[in-house]
Chain A
Amino acid sequence: MRVRYFGLVLGFVLLLAPLSAASAQSLASLAAANTATTAVEKAGPGCWGCEQVGGYPVCRGGVVPGYYNCIASVLQTCQVSSSGCGGSAAVPLDPDGSTQYVSRGSLMGVTVAFHAGDPPVRRNCEGVVVARKQTSDDITTVRMRTGSLTL
Chain B
Amino acid sequence: MSMSRQQWKVVAALGLGFWVQPVPAPMPPAARVAAVRDPAFTVPDSVRALLTYVTSLAVDPDSSLYLADPQLGMILQLEPSGDFRRTIGRRGAGPGEFNSVLLLGLHRDSLWAMDPGLVRLTLMPRRGSGAVTVPFGNNAMTAASATRPRSRNGMPAAMFPDGSLLVQEVVRDSASPVGEESHSFLFRTARSLEILDTVARFSMVHSGMRFIYRDGESLYRQPFGDDALYAASSDGSVLVMVTRDASRQRSGGTFTVTAWRGGKVRLFSREISYDAIRLPRGVVDSVVDRFARPSGKDAPSTPVTEDSIRRRLFRPTYYPPVEEVKVSRNGEVWLKVRFADGPKGVGDWLVLSRHGFPLNRVALPASFRLLEVNRKTAWGTEGDVLDVPLLVRYQIPNWGT
Say yes or no for B38: interface residue by CB 8 A criterion: no
Chain A binding site: helix, strand, loop or mixed by DSSP?
strand
Partner of A60, one of B155, B181, B229, B298: B155
Is B216's CB under 8 angstroms from A74's CB?
A: no
Partner of A57, one of B221, B290, B302: B221
Bound: A80/B219 CA distance, A: 9
Residue of B nearest to A71 (CB): B300
| Chain A residues whose CB sits within 8 angstroms of the CB of B230 once the complex forms | 54
Identify which of residues 53-103 in chain B touch chain A, using a CB-to-CB cut-off of 8 Å.
Answer: 53, 55, 70, 93-94, 99-100, 102-103
Say yes or no for A38: interface residue by CB 8 A criterion: no
Bound: A46/B93 CA distance, A: 11
The 9 closest A-B pairs by CB, nearest first: A73-B299, A81-B216, A50-B219, A106-B93, A110-B138, A76-B221, A75-B298, A53-B155, A62-B119
Say yes or no for A45: interface residue by CB 8 A criterion: yes
Is B298's CB under 8 angstroms from A50's CB?
A: no
Q: A52-B204, A79-B302 known; A74 and B387 CB under 8 Å?
A: yes
A70 → chain B closest CB, angstroms: 8
A52 → chain B closest CB, angstroms: 6
Identify which of residues 48-86 in chain A touch chain B, using a CB-to-CB cut-off of 8 Å.
Answer: 50-62, 64, 67, 71-83
B342 → chain A closest CB, angstroms: 21
Say yes or no for B44: interface residue by CB 8 A criterion: no
| Chain A residues whose CB sits within 8 angstroms of the CB of B299 once the complex forms | 71, 73-75, 77, 79
Bound: A82/B216 CA distance, A: 6
Given contacts A75-B291, A77-B218, 9 further A-B contacts (CB under 8 A): A50-B210, A53-B103, A67-B216, A71-B299, A75-B290, A77-B291, A79-B216, A79-B219, A107-B119
Max count, chain A CB within 10 A of own CB: residue among B55, B208, B231, B302: B208
- Chain A 108-135 near chain B by CB (<8 Å), digits 1 or 0: 1011100010000000000000000000
Identify which of residues 39-53 in chain B touch chain A, using a CB-to-CB cut-off of 8 Å.
Answer: 52-53
